[in-house]
C-alpha cells in the first residue's frame, strides 16, 4: 500500500494540523521528506517529496513570486508543503493557500510545539517500511513469474491469469495489430485505437514503456475508464500488447511491480516460443524437403520424424505452390523523408501471404522457399477423384489473391495445383505437377493464374515441343484463314469460336458465357463459315480446330494478325 499525505495527518501529534488548501492532493504519494532551507530547493527535487518549512527562505518574496514558487513546487510533483510558521512568519500568505488549492498541492499548517524531527522520523520510518514491503513484494512476485517461466508447458495464459489475480483488474493480451489473443472478461470498446493516440504520461517509474488510453465499459453499467497498454518486444521484433483496464480500482505502484514482472515473463515466453517454433520449423522443413525430393531411401527416417511431431503421412495430400511476384514499391517511396526498405516490404508481403494461406487452409502444411510458399493440403480420399475439392481449393486460392490485393497492390500471387497423392510419400509427383501448372499457367493465362495440372489437358502435350514455332504447322488451314483475315471483328470471331467449341457447339450456352444475345453468336458463326468454309458437323475438323485454338493460346503471338 502506498504511503500518502492523508496517512501523515493520522500520525501521533499531527491531529491538530490544519489543511489550509489543496485538499484534492491528500492522496498524493510520499516518496521522501526534506526540509526547505533555501528558495532554490525546486532545482533539487525529484518529485514525490513532502517539504517541511518555516517559510523563512521566501520571507521577502512578493505575492507574485510566492505564487510562482508554489506553482513550481506543484510542477515538480511535490506531495505536500508542511509549514510551521510561528517563528518567522506570523500568517501564511493567502496567495500560497490559493495557489495550493488551484494546483492540488496540500498546504498544511502544523502546531508550533511539534519539532521537525517528530515529523521527519516517523515519515522516514514509514517510507523505509514501505520500501522493505515493496522489495518483499517484488521478490514474491518475481518468484511467481519466474516459476511460470521455468515450467515447460506454461504458455501465455497462466502469466495473464497470475497478473490479473495480483492486481485485481481485468488483463488481456493483443497481438501487434491489436487483434485479441487472450481476452479479459469485459465488454469494452477502446476510444483510442491507434498507438499514436495513446498518452505517454508517467505515473510510476518502470523499466518498460507504458501508455494510457480511454475505453468504454458496457457492463454492468456504461462508463469510461483508463487502460494501461504495455508494448512488449521480443528478439524477433514481433510486438504484442499487454492491456490492463482500471475497471475495478486505480492501479498503484505495487500493481506496476506486478505488471513489470509479467511483461518480463511474457517477453521470455515469447522468446521461448519463437525459439521452439524456429527449431520445429527447420525440423518440419527438412521433412517436407525430403518428401518433395522423393528420397525413397529415407522413407523410414521420414516416417519416424513425422511421428515425433504428429504428422499423419498416411493421408492424401495435394501440393499447392504460391509464387510471389512484384516490385514491392511504395507510393511513399518518392516522398522526401520516407525511404522504404525493399527487404522489409518483401518480408511484409510474405507475412500477409502466409497469414492469408493459414486462415484459408488452416490444416495445411507450409514451407517457404525464396519467392514461393509450398502448401501440402490434406484431401479427403473420397473426394480426390471428384472436382469438388479442386473447385473449393481454387475458390480459396482466389480469396487469398483478393486479400493480398487489399493489403498491397505491388504483390502478385500465382497459384499452381498438383494432383492428389494417395499418401504423403508420393507428394513429389504432385509437387512436380504443381510446378508445371505454375509454369504453363503463367504462359497461358497470365501472372495471376490459378492453374490445376489436371485441367491442363492437351496443353501439357503441346508444351513438350522443343521449338514452339513448330506447332504452327498443326493449325488447320480454315483457322489460319480466320486468323489472317482483315475482318474488323476478327478477335471477337476467334473468341466466339473458342467458347462455342468449349460448350460442345451449344450456341445458347456460348451466348450466356459471352454475355451476348443468342442471335449475336449465330451471326458470328455464319461469318466464320463465310471466311473459313468450316464444317461444324465434321467432328475431325472440329477436333483439329480445337487443337489449333489451344496452340494459338499457347504461342500468344501476333504473327498471324
- pLDDT, average across residues 359-376: 88
Which of 323-337, 448-462, 496-510 has the highest average model confidence (pLDDT)?
A: 496-510
The predicted-structure confidence for 273-313, as pLDDT tens digits, reads as follows 877 777 777 777 787 888 888 765 566 677 666 766 667 77
The predicted-structure confidence for 445-501, as pLDDT tens digits, reads as follows 777 889 998 888 766 666 655 566 677 777 889 999 998 888 888 889 999 998 999
Q: Can you give the pLDDT at residue 521?
A: 93
Confidence band of 333 (pLDDT split at 50, 70, 90):
very low
Is the bond preceding residue 220 a cis peptide, omega within 30 degrees?
yes
451, β-bridge pairs: 416
Least confident of 34-43, 143-152, 274-283, 382-391: 274-283
The predicted-structure confidence for 74-128, as pLDDT tens digits, reads as follows 999 999 999 987 777 788 999 999 999 999 999 999 988 888 898 999 999 988 8
Q: Specify whether the CB–CB gap between 560 and 507 falls below 8 A.
A: no
User: Which of 384 and 122 is assigned the larger pLDDT?
Assistant: 122
Determine the Cα–Cα distance for residues 407 and 107; give it in Å rounded to an integer.
58
Q: Can you give the pLDDT at residue 463?
A: 61
The cell numbers describing 522, all together, are: 449465330
Confidence band of 199 (pLDDT split at 50, 70, 90):
low
Q: Can you give the pLDDT at residue 187?
A: 67
Q: Can you give the pLDDT at residue 195?
A: 59
Structural domains in the chain plus CATH codes: 5-125 (3.40.1390.20), 152-273 (3.30.450), 312-456 (3.30.70.270), 468-555 (1.10.10.2840)
Q: Is 481 left (phi over 0), alpha (psi -120 to 50) or beta?
A: alpha
Q: Can you give the pLDDT at residue 310?
A: 65
Q: Can you give the pLDDT at residue 32?
A: 92
pLDDT at 553 over 60: yes
Q: Is 114 left (phi over 0), alpha (psi -120 to 50) or beta?
A: beta
Q: Can you give the pLDDT at residue 465?
A: 59
- For the chain, how many helices (H) and strands (E)? 16, 16
- Locate all alpha helices (DSSP H) within 242-341, ordered by sequence: 253-293, 299-308
Amino acid at each position: 500500500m502506498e504511503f500518502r499525505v492523508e496517512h501523515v495527518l493520522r500520525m501521533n501529534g499531527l491531529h491538530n494540523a490544519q489543511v489550509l488548501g489543496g485538499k484534492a492532493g491528500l492522496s498524493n504519494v510520499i516518496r521522501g521528506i526534506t526540509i526547505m532551507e533555501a528558495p532554490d530547493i525546486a532545482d533539487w527535487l525529484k518529485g514525490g517529496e513532502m517539504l517541511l518549512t518555516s517559510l523563512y527562505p521566501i520571507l521577502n518574496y512578493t505575492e507574485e513570486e510566492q505564487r510562482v514558487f508554489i506553482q513550481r513546487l506543484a510542477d515538480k510533483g511535490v506531495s505536500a508543503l508542511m509549514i510551521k510558521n510561528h517563528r518567522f512568519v506570523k500568517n501564511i500568505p493567502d496567495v500560497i493557500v490559493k495557489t495550493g488549492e488551484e494546483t492540488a498541492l496540500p498546504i498544511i499548517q502544523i502546531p508550533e510545539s511539534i519539532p521537525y524531527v517528530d515529523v521527519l522520523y516517523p515519515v522516514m520510518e514509514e517510507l523505509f517500511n514501505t520500501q522493505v514491503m515493496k522489495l518483499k513484494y517484488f521478490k514474491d512476485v518475481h518468484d511467481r513469474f519466474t516459476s511460470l517461466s521455468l515450467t515447460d508447458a506454461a504458455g501465455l495464459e497462466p502469466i495473464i491469469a497470475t497478473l490479473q489475480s495480483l492486481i485485481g483488474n481485468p488483463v488481456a493480451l493483443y497481438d501487434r495489430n491489436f487483434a485479441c489473443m487472450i481476452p479479459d472478461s469485459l465488454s469494452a470498446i477502446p476510444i483510442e485505437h491507434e498507438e499514436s493516440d495513446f498518452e505517454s504520461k508517467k505515473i510510476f517509474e518502470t523499466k518498460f514503456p507504458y501508455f494510457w488510453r480511454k475505453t468504454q465499459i458496457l457492463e454492468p453499467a456504461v462508463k469510461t475508464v483508463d487502460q494501461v497498454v504495455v508494448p512488449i518486444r521480443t528478439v524477433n521484433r514481433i510486438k504484442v500488447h499487454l492491456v490492463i483496464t482500471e475497471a475495478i480500482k486505480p492501479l498503484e505502484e505495487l500493481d506496476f511491480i506486478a505488471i513489470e514482472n509479467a511483461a518480463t515473463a511474457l517477453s521470455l515466453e515469447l522468446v521461448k516460443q519463437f525459439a521452439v517454433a524456429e527449431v520445429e520449423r527447420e525440423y518440419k522443413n527438412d521433412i517436407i524437403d525430403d518428401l518433395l525430393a522423393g528420397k525413397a531411401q529415407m522413407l523410414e527416417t521420414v516416417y519416424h520424424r513425422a511421428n515425433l511431431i504428429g504428422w499423419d503421412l498416411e493421408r492424401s495430400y495435394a501440393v499447392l505452390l504460391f509464387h510471389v511476384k512484384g516490385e514491392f514499391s511504395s507510393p511513399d517511396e518518392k516522398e522526401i523523408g520516407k525511404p522504404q526498405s525493399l527487404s522489409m516490404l518483401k518480408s511484409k508481403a510474405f507475412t500477409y501471404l502466409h497469414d492469408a494461406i493459414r486462415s484459408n487452409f488452416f490444416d495445411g502444411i507450409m514451407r517457404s522457399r525464396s519467392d514461393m510458399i509450398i502448401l501440402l493440403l490434406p484431401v479427403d480420399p473420397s473426394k480426390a477423384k471428384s472436382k469438388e475439392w479442386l473447385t473449393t481449393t481454387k475458390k480459396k486460392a482466389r480469396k487469398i489473391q483478393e486479400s493480398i490485393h487489399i493489403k498491397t497492390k505491388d504483390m502478385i500471387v500465382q497459384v499452381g495445383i498438383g494432383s492428389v497423392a494417395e499418401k504423403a510419400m508420393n507428394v513429389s509427383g504432385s509437387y512436380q505437377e504443381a510446378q508445371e501448372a505454375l509454369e504453363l499457367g503463367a504462359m497461358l493465362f497470365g501472372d495471376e493464374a490459378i492453374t490445376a495440372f489436371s485441367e491442363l489437358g492437351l496443353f501439357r502435350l503441346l508444351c513438350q515441343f522443343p521449338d514452339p514455332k513448330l506447332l504452327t504447322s498443326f493449325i488447320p488451314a480454315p483457322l489460319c484463314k480466320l486468323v489472317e483475315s482483315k475482318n474488323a471483328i476478327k478477335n471477337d470471331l476467334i473468341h466466339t469460336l473458342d467458347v462455342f467449341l468449349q460448350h460442345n457447339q451449344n450456341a445458347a450456352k456460348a451466348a450466356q458465357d459471352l454475355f451476348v444475345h443468342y442471335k449475336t453468336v449465330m451471326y458470328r458463326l455464319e461469318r466464320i463459315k463465310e471466311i473459313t468454309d468450316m464444317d461444324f458437323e465434321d467432328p475431325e475438323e472440329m477436333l483439329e480446330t480445337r487443337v489449333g485454338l489451344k496452340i494459338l493460346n499457347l504461342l500468344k503471338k501476333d504473327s498471324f494478325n
